[in-house]
Chains A and B, each alone.
Chain A
Amino acid sequence: MDAFSYNSIFWVLILILSTNFALRAFTKTKEEESYFLYHLVSSYHIIFAKLLYNWIVIFIGGVIFLLSSIIFHSSLESFMTFPIVQFIFLLLVSSLCLSSTFSLPSALVLTSNNKGTLLGILSFPISIPITLVCINLGGELISKQTWNMSGLLLLLSVVLIMSTVSLFLFKYNWQS
């Protein structure tokens, strides 16, 4: 497998990974536990914590996957020039982006019956462009070793918009 196809598969995998992680962040909390938390701290703290947790989990998952795939495929010549450090930095930004888009929808689907399907429907339209941008950025890293600044800024702006919206809106969902 060459570096380009690896790049595409990697980001799609990160997307699937982040859906599962984001859903687990909410479903694993027991009802009594969340009732306790509701009285203890404000909703801003909760969504901020979930966002941070998702970010770290997606990032660590991605790094483990990246490193293990490089270790186990070290015979491949194309990985000799693979920009690992830049890739990990891109992963840091994109996992923040994914966690900020997934956190609020995963809180929204808690009230419905089939959570997994609904989370997919709600958040995939938003996360697919992010994945596409990530694939483009990763492809440029591999081929030209340069950063596409507008793509990076786009990711950061998505982070800014989505996390702000999540922080403000989660309050209303948390009450119920």
Chain B
Amino acid sequence: MNIKNNWWKYLGVLCFIYAITAGLLIPLKPGIAEISEHSLYSGSSVDLSVRGYNTSFAEENYSGYIRLSGSQQIKASGFNVLDNQNAILHFEIPHSFEEQEKVSEATLVINSPLHGYAIYPNLRILKPETDIPNNAQWENILEVTEADWKFAFPYRNIIVETIRNTFYHVAIWMAMFVLLTIALVYSILYLRKGKPVHDHVASSFTYISLVFGVIGVATGSVWARFSWGAFWTNDVKLNMVAISMMIYLAYGILRASIDDNDKKAKTAAIYNIFAYAAMIPLIMIIPRLTASLHPGNGGNPAFGTDDMDNTLRMVFYPAIIGLGLIGGWIAQIGIRIKKIEEKLINRALND
């Protein structure tokens, strides 16, 4: 194979292999999976038993803090390590602090010099009915030296290891949108110029993006089984995706049901543009208007800093490029098959 003309195929395969290996092999950052108590009373002393994920309590010097939303924190006075994943932290919670309300939000932070932070945000500090004065004091947060940057994916509660699905499920949808857009452009070109090649390109790209869509639904469904508990939920986005898959299946049926080649190409091109225009509000707008379980809907964009970070992006973008190029490759083979078919038909007609 000629490298000069086919460099994009190599690039696609390389990106895809990189996305598979890096996406599956790179570990997650340490995180806190579970703590024994979520509501703490100020002025009391508590033993928090903490279960970590990917942590190594026994091998390193960890220290624990409870941080308020302002700039105050307390350090754990005792850090009893049970094993690498389990530890019991002892906190003496001061009886009062500035701007104290009935319920104050706090964060549990576990810090190690080697692995960096692990945080657990859903901690509440309650004000008791009667004040219990004690000697403990909130201290100001000092500048903490950052741990050496390590290539690791962020830890998210509940999602945990399935965060890797970003590289496959989300990336394949993005690649699908790119391929569909290419199909749209060639459909418009066919209507303007009327060359049969443009129709071949449009139909090949539409078919391969339909396959990509089915794979996207399948990977999303497997992910949903682990994080939502069911393969298919009655979520808005899922239903809309099913409907837009039906729209593109109808494209195939439309092509199959018209005999005349010229008419078929024209009708298919018109319907393709129509389907694209119908799909955008279905997938992009309706799920954002309503509450949805799906990350990135109900108002919060999935590409904000809360959902993506730079380590994820380093695998996510190559995955999109790789999948898109591989899709383009498959579509190119489809175009070639159609060209050969056309040539054979023409030869048979001439004989």
A residues whose Cβ falls under 8 Å from a Cβ of B: 101, 104-105, 108, 111-114, 118, 121-122, 124-126, 128-129, 150-151, 154, 157-158, 161-162, 165-166, 169, 172-173, 176
Contact = CB atoms under 8 A, between A and B. Distances in A.
Nearest to B248: A125
B274 A105 contact: yes
B270 A154 contact: no
B189 interface: no
Given A118-B253, A121-B250, A157-B285, A126 B278 contact: yes
Nearest to B263: A111
Given A118-B254, A166-B274, A172-B191, 10 more contacts: A105-B274, A113-B257, A125-B247, A126-B278, A129-B286, A154-B281, A158-B281, A161-B277, A161-B281, A173-B270
B244 A125 contact: yes
A154 B285 CA distance: 8
For the complex of A and B, the 9 pairs showing the least CB-CB separation, nearest first, are A125-B246, A125-B247, A165-B277, A126-B278, A169-B270, A112-B257, A121-B250, A125-B243, A150-B289
Nearest to B194: A172
A170 to B, nearest CB: 8
A162 B274 CA distance: 8
A122 B257 contact: no
Nearest to A151: B289
B263 A176 contact: yes
A39 to B, nearest CB: 20
A126 B240 CA distance: 10
A108 B250 contact: no
B260 interface: yes
Interface string B274-291: 100110111001100100
B240 A129 contact: yes
B165 interface: no
Contacts of A176: 262-263, 266
A108 B286 CA distance: 27
Interface in B249-269: 250, 253-254, 257-258, 260, 262-263, 266-267, 269
A50 to B, nearest CB: 15
A101 B278 CA distance: 9
Interface of B: 191, 240, 243-244, 246-247, 250, 253-254, 257-258, 260, 262-263, 266-267, 269-271, 273-274, 277-278, 280-282, 285-286, 289
A99 to B, nearest CB: 15
23 contacts: A104-B270, A105-B271, A108-B270, A111-B258, A111-B260, A111-B267, A112-B254, A118-B254, A121-B250, A122-B271, A125-B250, A125-B278, A126-B243, A129-B243, A154-B281, A157-B281, A157-B285, A158-B281, A161-B277, A161-B280, A172-B269, A173-B266, A173-B270
A112 B270 contact: no
A114 B266 CA distance: 18
A169 B267 contact: no
A174 B331 CA distance: 30
A118 B253 CA distance: 8
Contacts of B277: 161-162, 165
A36 B306 CA distance: 62
A161 B257 CA distance: 27
Contacts of B250: 121-122, 125
Contacts of A129: 240, 243, 282, 286
A154 B286 contact: yes
Contacts of A151: 289
B257 A118 contact: yes
Contacts of A169: 191, 270, 273-274
A172 B270 contact: yes
Given A111-B260, A118-B257, A176-B263, A162 B278 contact: yes
A176 B270 CA distance: 13
Contact of B267 (A158, A162, A173): A173
Nearest to A171: B191
Contacts of B243: 125-126, 128-129
Contacts of B266: 172-173, 176
Contacts of B258: 111-112
Contacts of A108: 254, 267, 270-271
Contacts of B267: 108, 111, 173
Contacts of B240: 129
A176 B247 CA distance: 24
Given A129-B243, A161-B281, A122 B254 contact: yes
A61 to B, nearest CB: 24
Contacts of B273: 165, 169
